[in-house]
Amino acid sequence: MILIIRGRGISRGIGKGTLLVSRAPISFLSGVDPDTGIIVEKGHPLQGTCMAEKVLAFSFGKGSTVGSYILYALSRNGHAPVAIVNTEAEPIIATGAIMGNIPMIDRIDVPLSRLVSGVQVQVNGDTGEMMYDGELA
């Protein structure tokens, strides 16, 4: 079953891939290795998981403004998520997504807690929509 989940477009473009959901915020500065795309933050629920080529859904970013440049570096190194979905975009993540040409949406009309990792999705940053090919939790 394909659902159309509506939100607000933040960074333009279309990203398609496997959904990776984090219930916890993510710090890109010192929480993500920009050379590999692996989440390295100690104690994070996704510690050891690679975000490259995934659609990364998480509530919001945390940490320093340098996080924007980490997202940009991930993009340049080929290890960025193909798209980002946030509950509420904040300037650090939005700026990084725009700089790195990573499609991004926020304020989706389905709670983040209902999204399931492993589902195939397509994020359209132009329209603010996500096509979700699976069941909700």
Q: How many CB atoms lie within 10 A of CB 48?
A: 8
Domain of residue 57, CATH code: 3.50.30.10
126 Cα distance to chain centroid: 16
42-94 residue pLDDT tens = 999 999 999 999 999 999 999 888 999 999 999 999 999 999 999 999 999 99
* Residue 38, domain extent: 2-133
Angstrom distance (rounded) from CA 14 to CA 56: 13
Cα(133)–Cα(137) distance, rounded to whole angstroms? 13
Q: How many domains does the chain have?
A: 1
**Model pLDDT for residues 10-30, shown as the tens digit of each residue:** 999 999 999 999 999 999 999
Which pTM was predicted? 0.97
- Per-residue pLDDT band for 121 (boundaries 50, 70, 90) equals very high
Question: How far is Cα 55 from Cα 103, in angstroms, rounded to an integer?
Answer: 9
Q: Residues with catalytic annotation?
A: 64
Which uninterrupted H or E stretch holds 4? Answer: strand 2-6
Average pLDDT for 32-42? 97
d(CA 90, CA 2): 28
